[in-house]
């Protein structure tokens, strides 16, 4: 009987194990992770769970007994320290080795650390794991002043959750607008205005030079524009880096993540990678893409598990072609984003509806008249039409796109 080993007891890892069983794989499945918790979803950690609205038992991917019920050996709190490809073995901290016929790397990503003086003071926090969110919830419960360093998704969601707890929040972002890299300046400024409207002091165009402290504890943040912002706590959200160390040390191809093909297979035919750590070839986008979002981890985990089960059965699966997708919830804004716009990958932004009105609205990022990505805000019905527009790569009528009183353009399929 074959053995499938999954490194990373993560969302992608749990979905892969599930897909293997659903696709009839009857061999041994070993799911190894270095966290104490069984696989859980991270989005609530900066939203409902952090706000105190969502219970802990809601964050897990599967109920506790699911693993035993599906004969999945779950090994938690164990770090995989080595990958020996010629022997087809992984090595665990402590020296134990586990052999595999097929291996899935779903090691995810880790927060990028701030390196300025004072970054190691007590009261400087990062948010990736369940325990981080539990700690922050306690911090927010005490009130006081919070500085959020970084206006990306994590920074903005943390700011919204902190405001929910009544904490005073200053957000520091070096770019001209929050979410600048993800959405561009135009839409980033809409998010900035929303946060200001909820009492966040959003300071763009300035970075952090030093974190000030007294008695080993943070007291404030010194900015590149010469301001000292008082703080009882700091949350740093300056992006993540993929956890490639295992794959890299074992000689797999690594370039902004573990490089995989459209079936999520690495340069070693017995090894797959999925989720945040995988830089996968996307047939529709015709390029390698690494996506750091929930749906990608879930869907690629499922796809990799299915591919591994199929191969064990002498078959192959279809390439992974799902559009990149992500979502956020901040205050009373819930949005979904479909598509992919690389750096400088758009030349026009079209808004449909008025973001200041409080009504649902849409945004589109276009290149040469084609919709590269679209976003629906508080409007779930538009999602399918947006996806169809992105997939079609058709040139669209800009005026029709912008006019909420007309239907969204329906593209004819690409020739």
Ligand X SMILES: Cc1cc2nc3c(=O)[nH]c(=O)nc-3n(C[C@H](O)[C@H](O)[C@H](O)COP(=O)(O)OP(=O)(O)OC[C@H]3O[C@@H](n4cnc5c(N)ncnc54)[C@H](O)[C@@H]3O)c2cc1C
User: Min. distance of Cβ 235 from ligand X in angstroms?
Assistant: 10
Under the binding rule (CB under 6 A), the answer on residue 294 touching ligand X is yes
Under the binding rule (CB under 6 A), the answer on residue 376 touching ligand X is no
Residue 86 CB coordination number (10 Å)? 6
Site for ligand X in 112-171 (CB under 6 A): 127-128, 154
Site string for ligand X, 11-30 (x = CB under 6 A): xx------------------
User: Min. distance of Cβ 108 from ligand X in angstroms?
Assistant: 2
- What length is written for the chain? 415
The CB-nearest residue to ligand X is 108
Alpha-carbon gap, residue 194 to 347, rounded angstroms: 24
User: Min. distance of Cβ 158 from ligand X in angstroms?
Assistant: 8
Find the Cα–Cα–Cα–Cα dihedral 113, 116, 122, 125, rounded to 10°: -30
Under the binding rule (CB under 6 A), the answer on residue 336 touching ligand X is no
Alpha-carbon gap, residue 242 to 239, rounded angstroms: 10
Under the binding rule (CB under 6 A), the answer on residue 191 touching ligand X is no
210: nearest Cα among 198, 196, 226, 189: 226
* DSSP string for 34-69: SSSSPSB-SGGGGTHHHHT-S-GGGSBSS-TTHHHH
Which of 30, 31, 106, 390 binds ligand X (CB under 6 A)? It is: 106
Which of 45, 192, 221, 396 binds ligand X (CB under 6 A)? It is: 45
Under the binding rule (CB under 6 A), the answer on residue 43 touching ligand X is yes
Q: Which two tokens stand for residue 88?
A: 């087809």
Under the binding rule (CB under 6 A), the answer on residue 246 touching ligand X is yes
Q: Which two tokens stand for residue 19?
A: 């897909």
Sign (positive/negative) of CA torsion 117, 123, 128, 129? positive
Q: Which stretch binds ligand X (CB under 6 A): 35-43, 189-197, 209-217, 260-268?
A: 35-43
**Closer residue to ligand X, CB minimum distance, 74 or 106:** 106
What is the widest separation between alpha-carbon atoms in the chain? 67
Which of 299, 302, 328, 330 binds ligand X (CB under 6 A)? It is: 328
Where does this chain bind ligand X (CB under 6 A)?
A: 7-12, 32-35, 42-43, 45-46, 79-80, 106-109, 127-128, 154, 243, 246, 275-276, 292-295, 297, 326-328
């Amino acid at each position: 009987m074959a053995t499938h080993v999954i490194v990373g007891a993560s969302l992608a890892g749990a979905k892969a194990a599930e897909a293997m069983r659903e696709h009839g794989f009857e061999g041994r499945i070993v799911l190894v992770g270095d966290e104490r918790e069984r696989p859980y979803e991270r989005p609530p950690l900066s939203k409902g769970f952090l706000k105190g609205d969502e219970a802990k038992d809601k964050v897990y991917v599967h109920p506790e007994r699911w693993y035993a019920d599906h004969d999945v050996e779950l090994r938690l709190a164990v770090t995989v320290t080595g990958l020996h490809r010629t022997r087809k073995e992984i090595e665990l901290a402590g020296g134990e080795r586990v052999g595999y016929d097929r291996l899935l790397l779903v090691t995810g990503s880790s927060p990028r650390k701030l390196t300025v003086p004072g970054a190691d003071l007590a009261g400087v926090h990062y948010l990736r794991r369940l325990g981080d969110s539990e700690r922050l919830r306690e911090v927010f419960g005490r009130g006081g002043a919070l500085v959020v360093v970084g206006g990306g998704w994590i920074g903005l969601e943390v700011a919204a959750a902190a405001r929910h707890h009544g904490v005073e929040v200053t957000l520091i972002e070096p770019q001209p607008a929050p979410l600048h890299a993800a959405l561009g300046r135009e839409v980033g400024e809409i998010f900035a205005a929303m946060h200001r409207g909820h009492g966040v002091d959003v300071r763009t165009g300035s970075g952090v030079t030093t974190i000030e402290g007294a008695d080993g504890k943070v007291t404030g943040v010194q900015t590149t524009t010469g301001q000292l912002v008082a703080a009882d706590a700091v949350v740093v959200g300056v992006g993540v880096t993929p956890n490639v160390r295992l794959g890299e040390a074992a000689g797999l191809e690594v370039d902004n993540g573990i490089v995989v093909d459209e079936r999520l297979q690495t340069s070693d035919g017995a090894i797959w990678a999925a989720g945040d750590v995988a830089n996968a070839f996307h047939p529709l986008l015709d390029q390698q893409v690494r996506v750091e979002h929930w749906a990608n981890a879930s869907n690629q985990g499922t796809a990799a598990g299915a591919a591994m089960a199929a191969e064990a059965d002498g078959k192959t699966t279809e390439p992974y072609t799902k559009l990149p997708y992500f979502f956020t919830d901040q205050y009373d804004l819930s949005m979904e984003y479909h598509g992919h716009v690389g750096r400088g990958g758009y030349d026009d932004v079209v808004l449909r509806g008025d973001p200041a009105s409080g009504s649902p609205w849409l945004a589109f990022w276009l290149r040469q008249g084609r919709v590269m990505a679209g976003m629906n805000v508080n409007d779930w019905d538009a999602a399918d039409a947006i996806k169809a527009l992105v997939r079609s790569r058709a040139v669209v009528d800009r005026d029709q796109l912008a006019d909420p009183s007309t239907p969204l353009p329906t593209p004819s399929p690409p020739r």
